[in-house]
Amino acid sequence: MTHPFLLTLNAGSSSVKIGLFKAADGAKAREIGRGELDLQRRPLALRLETSGTTSDVAIDAPPSEDLHEVLDATLAALAAHFDLGELLGAGHRVVHGGLRFHGPVRIDDASLAAIDALTPLAPLHQPHSLRLIRALRHLRPSLPQTASFDTAFHVTQDDLVRRFALPRALHDEGIRRYGFHGLSYAYIARELARRQPALGSGRVVAAHLGSGASVCAMHGGKSVDSSMGFSTLDGLPMGTRCGTLDAGVLLYLLDERRMPLKELEDLLYHRSGLLGVSGSSADVRTLEGESGAAARQALDLFALRAAGEIARLGSTLGGIDTLVFTAGIGEHDAAMRAAICGRLAWLGVALDAAANARHAERIEAGGGRVAVLVIPTDEEQVIADEALAVLGS
């Protein structure tokens, strides 16, 4: 017997994360495999993980801007390794939902046009999701597709939190704080409520720390505040992105330095952050293995700014009961977790060094006033569950 099958596509700037899920009898989507397609790798290969094993599957297709041939070959590769049964639909992660999208939607001509219109708000991410949606539409025009938005989780934030100190007309036009990494935070809120219900109902700060990084304040599982605002440039310094920056710096570079707009965009998105400060790498693991002062300063700056944003969100919440680390750095880098928590000792954050070193779920020291957890995130599961809910309805 076959069951409806769901495909999830999570587009990055140079890779695509793929999830494969079954939905039996209207139940929650159940993962049967996942993969990643590195679009910069030559020759192209799909890395597949299923049943505890990992394999590389060659993708014999030339990369192109529309990805038609690459996606077609990828679907063929998946079909050769899975008894897919009936393909129910495909769910996509879309970074920006603007003022219109407050939850997942089925993609049609109108919603696709609205997603495209939001590209100026997320120029680094939105185009990659759009080309996957269009490629799948081209290859399988009758296949239902859904979009899950990173901004949607944050619509519960108060208007005061979302407002910049700019003229009200600009706020009304959409220049406001949106927040991102919402699919990750939605999963953490759900998992925390399942694993530790008493903690999940309280005042929580979750730190999604990866090549893109942000922190989010939650109360009762709802977003209250976040470090990212209008764009994915805001908040913490990231792998190659600058994080919070005095707007006067931009005026200076544009006016005094006569920096072209595209060059400025490239500077802020691709040449700043850990890479810019260290001068050598955007990867925390690489920097931790270097002995130079610039590499050490990049790591220290990341920890300083992360701790500072966590403390600021504590002010919004009126206190912090629980701190959760997630994503690549948050889940796997004990040294960075210790560096951040060391700067939060005044808030009552204290780590058990041994538990932290082995990446245990609970890593706070006895007597600490703040519970500290490490919870792996799963954006693909959220996309699949939301796609199933939309298509099922």
Residue numbers annotated as active site:
150
- Quote the CA–CA distance of 6 and 18 in Å, as a whole number: 10
Number of neighbours of residue 322 by Cβ within 10 angstroms:
21
Cβ 309 vs Cβ 316: under 8 Å: no
- The residue with tokens 């220290």 is 300
Phi first, then psi, for residue 216 (nearest 5°) are -135, 135
HSE (CB half, 13 Å, CA atoms) of 21?
Answer: 29
- Quote the CA–CA distance of 210 and 331 in Å, as a whole number: 9
Residue 364 C-alpha from the chain's centroid: 25
Phi first, then psi, for residue 13 (nearest 5°) are -70, -30
Question: 192: helix, coil or strand?
Answer: helix
Q: Could you tell me the maximum CA-CA distance found in the chain, to the nearest angstrom?
A: 68
For the chain, the distance separating the N- and C-terminal CA atoms, rounded to the nearest angstrom, is: 23
With residue 10 as reference, give the H or E element that holds it. strand 4-11
Strands 203-209 and 213-219 come out as antiparallel
Cβ 325 vs Cβ 207: under 8 Å: yes
Q: Which distant-in-sequence residues (6+ apart) come within 8 Å of 224 by Cβ?
A: 156, 157, 158, 161, 217, 218, 313, 316, 317
DSSP structural state of residue 362: B
Report how far apart, in Å, the C-alpha atoms of 272 and of each of 6, 226, 277, 329 are: 37, 21, 7, 18
- Quote the CA–CA distance of 296 and 299 in Å, as a whole number: 5
